[in-house]
């Protein structure tokens, strides 16, 4: 018993060294104000990666009954089983109650992967977008590509435009698409490296659905920044993110056809990057209306914990022990 206790303390010590104190102190100050007592339990999950959970999104283009059987044997079950407003039959995602990570598959040229590991909350923006066959879709900030892959599990867009401005991330996006999507379908996917703030002017009213999974202060990864100087710079530059997110949203609205829908998402708890950005858009764009997504939230409330008091067009997934998904903010808008 003493041996295991020493081992646990040693592991805990190593883990503590990995946490970036600069970021934690910043989060402590902001989120104690914004989340109150809830922040304590959220912080416990975020600062302890051993309790994080990972979902397995199956690839319909490389189906394996054997894989599904293996997952069930290992205690996995389908993530989305409730009466969701939108749940395509071919979108299959498996989760389990206990933490642990299924082995990742390596990229092999000419060979499709069978599954994609992700935070299950990452699929909520895709479900909120409700893509139908034949619709023209823009994924404005698409890297690393998990949501793009998920969209293609749901439907066959008429035109699918995946954009990523950052060069390194764009290469990763291309590799992800090559790993999951067969050649005949790849021909219908456009991958670009445009500045997302300019796409609306370059391609006005071209899309039926737009996903803006915006660059944000990624709470999970920022907490474990190994470079203290970089982390300090990130914290300083954090206040500039809402302006960028607002500009990306304005661009996305221009790119959207009248009657089209837009989903905005981030993986941060920050109110300034979430509700405040959406409120600013709603107050400054007379042709944009909020869309109620509360039914979707109700349908998945068994698996996810949501912040209470949000408006009907938005939700915020809070990491919680036993349901260690998120953070994930989702808001849905429609262009009139």
Active-site positions read: 267
CA distances from 267 to 187, 221, 327 (A): 30, 10, 5
CA-based diameter of the chain, in Å?
A: 66
Q: 112, 110, 106: which is closest to 64 by C-alpha?
A: 112
In Å, how far are 59, 63, 160 from 185, measured between CA atoms? 14, 16, 10
Residue 143 labeled ligand binder? yes
Tokens coding 23: 């970021």
The annotation status of 144 as a binding-site residue, yes or no, is yes
Number of H helices, E strands in the chain: 14, 12
Question: Exposed, middle or buried by CB within 10 Å (0-12, 13-18, 19+), for 24?
Answer: middle
Paired strand residues for 191 = 162
Q: Is 205 annotated as a binding residue?
A: no
User: Is 20 labelled as part of a ligand binding site?
Assistant: no
Residue 195 marked ligand-binding: yes
Nearest to 246 by CA among 214, 218, 220, 208: 214
The pair of three-digit structure tokens given for residue 33, joined into one six-digit string: 């104000």
146 is in an annotated binding site: yes
Q: Is 157 annotated as a binding residue?
A: no
CA distance 216 to 208: 25
- Least Cα distance to 33 among 271, 220, 231, 232 occurs for 271
| 145 marked as part of a ligand binding site | yes
Consult the annotation and say whether 93 binds a ligand.
Answer: no
Q: Are 282 and 288 in contact (CB under 8 A)?
A: yes
> Which residues carry a binding-site annotation for S-adenosyl-L-methionine?
141-147, 164, 195, 213
> Which residues carry a binding-site annotation?
141-147, 164, 195, 213
């Amino acid at each position: 018993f003493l041996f295991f206790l020493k081992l646990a303390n040693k592991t805990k010590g190593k883990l503590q060294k990995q946490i970036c104190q600069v970021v934690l102190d910043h989060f402590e100050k902001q989120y104690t104000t914004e989340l109150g007592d809830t922040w304590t339990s959220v912080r416990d999950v975020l600062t302890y990666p051993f309790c994080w959970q990972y979902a397995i999104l199956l690839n319909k283009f490389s189906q394996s009954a054997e894989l599904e059987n293996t997952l069930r044997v290992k205690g996995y079950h389908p993530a989305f089983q409730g009466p969701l407003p939108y749940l395509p039959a071919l979108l299959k995602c498996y989760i389990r109650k206990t933490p642990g990570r299924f082995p990742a598959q390596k990229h092999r040229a000419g060979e499709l992967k069978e599954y994609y590991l992700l935070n299950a909350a990452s699929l909520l923006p895709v479900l909120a977008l409700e893509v139908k066959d034949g619709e023209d879709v823009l994924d404005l900030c698409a890297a690393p590509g998990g949501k793009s892959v998920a969209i293609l599990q749901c439907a066959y867009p008429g035109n699918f435009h995946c954009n990523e401005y950052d060069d390194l991330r764009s290469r990763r996006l291309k590799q992800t698409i090559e790993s999951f999507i067969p050649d005949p379908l790849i021909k219908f996917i456009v991958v670009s490296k445009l500045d997302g703030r300019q796409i609306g002017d370059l391609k006005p009213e071209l899309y039926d659905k737009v996903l803006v999974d915006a660059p944000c202060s990624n709470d999970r990864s920022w907490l474990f920044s190994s470079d203290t100087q970089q982390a300090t710079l990130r914290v300083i530059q954090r206040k500039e993110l809402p302006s960028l997110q607002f500009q990306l949203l304005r661009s996305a609205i221009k790119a959207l056809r009248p009657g089209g829908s837009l989903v905005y998402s981030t993986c941060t708890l920050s109110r300034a990057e979430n509700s405040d950005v959406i409120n600013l858009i709603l107050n400054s764009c007379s042709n944009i209306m909020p869309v109620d997504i509360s039914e979707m939230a109700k349908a998945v409330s068994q698996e996810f914990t949501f912040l209470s008091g949000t408006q009907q067009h938005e939700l915020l997934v809070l990491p919680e022990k036993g349901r260690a998904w998120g953070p994930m903010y989702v808001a849905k808008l429609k262009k009139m």
